[in-house]
Structure 1
Amino acid sequence: MLSEKQWVLTGPDGTTYRSTQPGTLGGHRRGKIYGTLDCRAALQAIARGGYVKHRVFFAEEATAIAAGYRPCAVCLPQRYALWKASRTGGH
């Protein structure tokens, strides 16, 4: 009998759990940033080898935000602009 594939995702409290569904977003634990799985900046960092050990995955955006992560300025520029404006009072 084949076992079902599982992925390790990060929950809203920042702890990891196993899921039968893959994550839809990737993130960087140290930088507390989340973005798309095909983000140019993340893929470049992975290619350099300095990103992988801090990589996390989220089922959806609400979970990443609840876990304290912010949007990536490269792959999610509109969401990043909104996040930044909310932190600076819109200035």
Structure 2
Amino acid sequence: MSYESATPGALGGHRRGRLYGRLDCPAALRAIAKGGYVTQRVFFADERTAIAAGFRPCAVCMPQEYAAWRQPDQRTVS
């Protein structure tokens, strides 16, 4: 579900790929330049909102966040 907002997004995402990243992400900018990314583009106010929407961080522009997302849960059930 999408919501329009008067506040500009701080992060961009790809609806189909379910990923989000910085607005200056080199991978996203390359895809946009090719023209195939724009129709699936979404924006988020912050990282928490993107995660709550079920999106994951971009490996290119947010490598630390992506690495943390990829880490398996280290907790053990007692």
Cα separation, 2, equivalents of 1:62 and 1:86 = 19
Please point out which of 32, 36, 39 is paired with 1:46: 32
Cα separation, 2, equivalents of 1:27 and 1:62 = 13
Deviations along 1:61-81, one digit per CA (max 9) or x if unpaired, are 101001110000000000000
What's the TM-score, normalizing by structure 2? 0.89
1:16 is displaced (CA, Å) by: 1.4
Cα separation, 2, equivalents of 1:86 and 1:62 = 19
Identity across aligned pairs (percent)? 66
- Structure 1 unaligned runs (5+)? 1-14
Structure that is richer in strand per residue:
1
What's the TM-score, normalizing by structure 1? 0.77
Q: 1:1-91, aligned counterparts within 5 Å?
A: 15-86=1-72
Backbone CA RMSD of aligned residues: 1.2
In the TM superposition, structure 1's runs of 4+ consecutive aligned residues that sit over 3 Å from their partners are: none
Given residue 49 of structure 1, which amino acid in structure 2 is its aligned partner?
G
- Structure 2 unaligned runs (5+)? none
Greater shift, 15-24 or 37-46, is seen at: 15-24
Deviations along 1:11-63, one digit per CA (max 9) or x if unpaired, are xxxx2112121000000000000000000000000001110000000011101
